[in-house]
Chain A
Amino acid sequence: MNLEISGLVQRFGATTVLDSLDLRTAAVRSLVLVGPSGGGKSTLLRILAGLDVPVAGSVAFDGVTLPRDEPSLRAYRRTVGTVFQAYNLFPHLSAMENLLLPLVHVHGLSESEARARVRGPLERFHLAEHAAKRPAELSGGQKQRIAILRALVVQPKRLFLDEPTSALDPEMTAEVLEMIGELKDLGTQFVLVTHEMGFARRAADLVAFVGDGRVLAHGPPGEIIDRCDVPRVRSFFARILP
């Protein structure tokens, strides 16, 4: 994907969360957003995913500018997949029904076509045995993996993942990151917000450091995480990396 963000501003009440944020990338398959809490990463991701409309500025993926009206944004959201920190799944539906819902009600597949579509991915990611369970019967890691799968089976252009592991313990975090890693190897494009720097280093084509409502630095993971000459970025990694 080729991302072009210019002059992006987002405010909530009197608080300015994104302060004329700019970012231009060459073709990358995976973009990882890192930075301090409250710096604007999630706000940026929600705009990229078409869930919120910025106060000002524009976003374009591969030369196509994101719309600002809700019906067009909904059409856009149907072409991408989004996974939040937690509570993605609908608790009154089984894992299988969660997967089928967007396929049947949004993408117009018949129930049997939808079932056929999800069978392979469920097995590929070792989730087939959990398909009949409700979210309450799944572990945190399983829930997130089903959520990622639900976003994936509609064959989106790209995934947006907003701290998908920050509500999980280390073991489950590993299992979810492993899945995202596999997706990357399969060619899935994604934008990921995360605090897992080890994973960012491995999986990112490009890392963008978001802080104070702007992109303070961006580049290949090694350059940003280990050798950045922006003081604010350098001090952040000095504090969080061992």
Chain B
Amino acid sequence: MPRWLAHTIVVVLFAALIALAFSRVNYAWNWAGVWEYRQKLLQGFGVTVALSLTSLIVSTLIGMLAALLLGAKNPLLEAVGRVYVELIRGTPLLVQLLIGFYVVASAVGLENRYVVGVLLLSLFSGAYMAEIFRGGLAAIPQTQRDSARAIGLTPWQSFRLVILPQAIRLVLPAVAGQFVSLIKDSSLLSVIAVSEFTLAAQEVNSFTYSTLESYLPLAAGYLLLTLPLSAVSRLLERRYRYEA
């Protein structure tokens, strides 16, 4: 059986199951009410795309920096990286957002909730990124560094020409997966009143009292962003497998 057929069958079966569940609860659909607010949902979607794209770039930079800290020979620098990563990964994003926005950002006078939102989300995702990058660099065998030294490369050349290109191939699938998480995690920015997709859906719900009609488009919208990323991730994984 071809893969696309298998996928189609599973999706149809799954949809049928969900449809059955909905039919059992006799839900009174009111799509017309939500349709009135389509502009608001679209705007929220746009904000989520913009926030995610920005955070994607910023968190990659933070992740690289933190990965360097984690690999630093200076114990103080290494400690900074380690404490950052463990603190962020060990606490809920919700708490980080609330404390980060209402306490830290207020204290330093940062008021733009979009800027703060991107920063907090990037710091969160950057901690996971850091571990991915560190793991990728550590996975390059010592013999590669030896060979690079043996042909006379400088440490920077060795990193740029030998270590980094191999590490990037290794971590790409995991990074794509982390991007998927980041897009979904951006929904939590609604708690600091960033008008992104999830907050838009919450508001539409409170105007129309049509909960499912507000939240189903939300799920569809996130899938629209995350499914292509997952596909890219799988593609990269297949493409670079031969080098493992």
- Residues of A with C-beta under 8 A to B147: 84, 87-90
| Number of residues from A at the complex interface, CB < 8 A | 25
B-side interface mostly: helix
- Residues of B with C-beta under 8 A to A87: 141, 143-144, 147
Chain B interface size range? 20 to 34
- Residues of B with C-beta under 8 A to A102: 151-153
Q: Is the Cβ of A84 less than 8 Å from the Cβ of B161?
A: no
Q: Would you give the 0/1 interface string for A89-127, flagging 1 where the beta carbon is closer than 8 Å to chain B?
A: 111100000000110011000000000000000000000
CA distance A88 to B166 in the complex (A): 14
A-side interface mostly: loop
Q: Would you give the 0/1 interface string for B148-180, flagging 1 where the beta carbon is closer than 8 Å to chain A?
A: 111111100100011001100100000000000
Question: What's the minimum C-beta distance from A81 to chain B, rounded to whole angstroms?
Answer: 8
Q: Is the Cβ of B243 less than 8 Å from the Cβ of A82?
A: no
Residue of A nearest to B240 (CB): A92
Q: Indicate whether A77 sits within 8 Å of B152 (C-beta atoms), given known contacts A90-B144, A101-B161.
A: yes
A23 contacts the other chain (CB 8 A) = no
- Residues of B with C-beta under 8 A to A75: 152
Q: Would you give the 0/1 interface string for A131-164, flagging 1 where the beta carbon is closer than 8 Å to chain B?
A: 0001010000000000000110010000000000
Q: Would you give the 0/1 interface string for B120-154, flagging 1 where the beta carbon is closer than 8 Å to chain A?
A: 00000000000000000000010110111111111
Q: Is the Cβ of B150 less than 8 Å from the Cβ of A82?
A: yes
CA distance A151 to B154 in the complex (A): 17
B242 contacts the other chain (CB 8 A) = yes
Residue of B nearest to A79 (CB): B152
CA distance A88 to B157 in the complex (A): 17
Which residues of A are in contact with B by a Cβ distance under 8 Å?
Answer: 49, 51, 74-75, 77-78, 81-82, 84, 86-92, 101-102, 105-106, 134, 136, 150-151, 154
Query: 6 nearest interchain CB pairs?
Result: A78-B152, A82-B150, A87-B143, A102-B151, A106-B152, A77-B152
